[in-house]
A and B are shown apart, each in its own frame.
Chain A
Amino acid sequence: MSSFNLFDAEEKSLEQAEDLRRRLEQAPGPVRDGIASLIEAYSRSVREQRRLVRVSDRLQAQLASVNQELGKRKAEAEDALESLKAAQESLVQAEKLASLGALVGGVAHEINTPVGIALSCASHLADSTAAIAKLFEADDISVDDFERFMATVKDTTGLILSNVERAAELIRSFKQVAVDRTSSERRRFDLAAYIRETLASLGPHLRQAGHAVRLACPDGIVMDSYPGALSQVLGNFIMNSLVHGFDPGQLGTLSITVEQEEAGSVRLVYADDGKGVPEDHLGRIFDPFFTTRRGSGGSGLGLHIVYNLVTGPLGGSVAAESPEGGGTVFTLSMPLSP
């Protein structure tokens, strides 16, 4: 077996041409010169073809190794992306827990007030009762004393009742919201009532900031969805307004407007009339870790969680705008039953 040659056919043609040239030795000069220059040109062409094949082989080998390297790098980048996603996921979980922690803190603060009032009323009532009992035992009780005591009893029991009722109501709201936040359970709930409960659970933050809160939601919209997710979304909108929306000391209005334009879905518009969001931040506002407050404890995850909850469990969409006149508007569309 002769060794393989890519240009076997060309070389055979060249040999035949040389042969022809030898046999044409008697031919006229111009014919011999013509044949010689044709052979020379063909032989150069074959040499050049060989060179071209070598050159492009080399380039293609290079290309192949670059491609391999590229594939390797791509795999590495994909691995890195995977672990970043995992890290992000755990940070999101941590942030959820942290916001639950803040909720618990708020609950404690909020319940402290009515319980404190009830306690001091009860203590005042006990003192008054002891005093009137003493007068009664000494048989030294006047009609005036008794009337004053009766007034005290009426006032304090009224205050105790209303404050304990307030505390009970708060506990009921908090319990619902906290349970919903920790569990991702689906259930049927009245939208307006649930938004009110959520606002109540954010009461301490809202009162501290001093902004007005307006809720416009038709009664009787019943959702079969994930209330915990909705509560967290609203909470994050509100905390976002409180932290970023206003300059210190500036008072504004937060509003939640719910409209039902078509059966089966609902549109919730959350707006504040604060400073608004710069144009170049709007496009990144839902990106994970996007924050303008890294130094002061912003995680950059609040609105990312909103985005995940809305597009995930709630099965809807969310968009952010910052209108000309100022303020920030989040528009949330979601099905009543995702």
Chain B
Amino acid sequence: MDNLKIAATERSPAVDFDFAAGRLSLKGESYPEDASAVFGPIFAALEAFLGAARGREVTFDFDLTYFNSSSAKALMNMFQMLDQSADAGCRLTVNWFYAADDDTMKEFGEDFCEDLSHVTFNLVSVE
């Protein structure tokens, strides 16, 4: 399937889904005025990809510096989706990047991984 690459805007993250390589990443800030415009395409692509990802090795990098509540809800939905497909046999690793001095972003990562039981979740501090 086609890779998904969307440049970052002031209020939305850069999307880089390299499906062939099994490397997905979201990077930047996320506080869009219309969450569905930003996350709609992301979820659609993700759903299609994960549906056929059984047995594959997939790494998902989250490198976010700021997000609002809609984005947090979307992320939680996304994590649930990832955990389900990991349960179904996709070998999924999530890397949650946070700046070394950003305790808030680190704690968000800790919160989000609480409900994940099949995904390998790494908290990665970035200097």
Stretch at the interface among B13-21, B39-47, B92-100: B39-47
Number of A-B contacts (CB under 8 A): 43
Min CB gap B114→A, angstroms? 17
**Chain B hits for A7, CB < 8 A:** 73
A49 to B66, CA, bound (A): 20
* CB <8 Å contact, A4 and B39: yes
Hey, what's the 0/1 contact readout for A45-64 against B, CB within 8 Å counting as 1?
00001001100110011001
Q: Which residue in A3, A6, A61 is a CB contact (below 8 Å) of B73?
A: A6
Q: A4-B43, A9-B77, A9-B80 are in contact. Are A57 and B69 (CB under 8 A)?
A: yes
* Residue in A closest to B80 when the chains form the complex, CB atoms: A9
Min CB gap A39→B, angstroms? 21
Q: Scan residues 1-48 of chain B and give those whose CB is less than 8 A from a CB of chain A.
A: 11, 31, 33, 35-36, 39-40, 43-44
A81 to B73, CA, bound (A): 43
* Residue in A closest to B38 when the chains form the complex, CB atoms: A4
* CB <8 Å contact, A3 and B36: yes
> With an 8 A cutoff between CB atoms, is B70 at the interface?
yes
* CB <8 Å contact, A8 and B77: yes
> With an 8 A cutoff between CB atoms, is A26 at the interface?
no
* CB <8 Å contact, B68 and A61: yes
* Residue in A closest to B47 when the chains form the complex, CB atoms: A1
* Residue in B closest to A9 when the chains form the complex, CB atoms: B77
> With an 8 A cutoff between CB atoms, is A296 at the interface?
no
Q: Which residue in A6, A9, A52, A53 is a CB contact (below 8 Å) of B36?
A: A6
**Chain B hits for A52, CB < 8 A:** 69
> With an 8 A cutoff between CB atoms, is A5 at the interface?
yes
**Chain A hits for B35, CB < 8 A:** 4, 6, 57
Q: A53-B70, A57-B70, A61-B31 are in contact. Are A4 and B36 (CB under 8 A)?
A: yes
A326 to B72, CA, bound (A): 66
The listed residue with most A CB atoms (<10 A of its CB), out of B11, B36, B40, B69, is: B69
A62 to B94, CA, bound (A): 31
* CB <8 Å contact, A56 and B68: yes
* CB <8 Å contact, B69 and A56: yes
The listed residue with most B CB atoms (<10 A of its CB), out of A3, A4, A9, A53, is: A4
The listed residue with most A CB atoms (<10 A of its CB), out of B33, B36, B77, B80, is: B77
Hey, what's the 0/1 contact readout for A21-46 against B, CB within 8 Å counting as 1?
00000000000000000000000000
* CB <8 Å contact, A60 and B31: yes
Main secondary structure on chain B at its contact with chain A? helix
**Chain A hits for B33, CB < 8 A:** 61
Q: Which residue in A1, A49, A56, A60 is a CB contact (below 8 Å) of B40?
A: A1
* CB <8 Å contact, A3 and B69: no
* CB <8 Å contact, B36 and A64: no
Q: A60-B31, A61-B31, A64-B31 are in contact. Are A6 and B68 (CB under 8 A)?
A: no
A9 to B80, CA, bound (A): 10
**Chain A hits for B124, CB < 8 A:** none
**Chain B hits for A5, CB < 8 A:** 36
* CB <8 Å contact, A57 and B40: no
**Chain A hits for B36, CB < 8 A:** 3-6
* CB <8 Å contact, B43 and A60: no
* CB <8 Å contact, A53 and B80: no
B interface list, Cβ under 8 A from A? 11, 31, 33, 35-36, 39-40, 43-44, 66, 68-70, 73-74, 77, 80
Please provide the 6 A-B residue pairs with the shortest distance between their CB atoms, ordered closest to farther: A4-B40, A4-B36, A56-B69, A60-B68, A53-B69, A6-B73
A interface list, Cβ under 8 A from B? 1, 3-9, 49, 52-53, 56-57, 60-61, 64
19 A-B pairs besides A4-B39, A4-B40 with CB distance below 8 A are: A4-B43, A4-B44, A5-B36, A6-B35, A6-B36, A6-B70, A6-B73, A6-B74, A7-B73, A8-B77, A56-B68, A57-B31, A57-B35, A57-B69, A60-B68, A60-B69, A61-B31, A61-B33, A64-B31
Can you report 29 residue pairs joining A to B where beta carbons are below 8 Å apart?
A1-B40, A3-B36, A3-B40, A4-B35, A4-B39, A4-B40, A4-B44, A5-B36, A6-B35, A6-B36, A6-B39, A6-B74, A6-B77, A7-B73, A9-B77, A49-B73, A53-B69, A53-B70, A56-B68, A56-B69, A57-B31, A57-B35, A57-B68, A60-B31, A60-B68, A61-B31, A61-B68, A64-B11, A64-B66
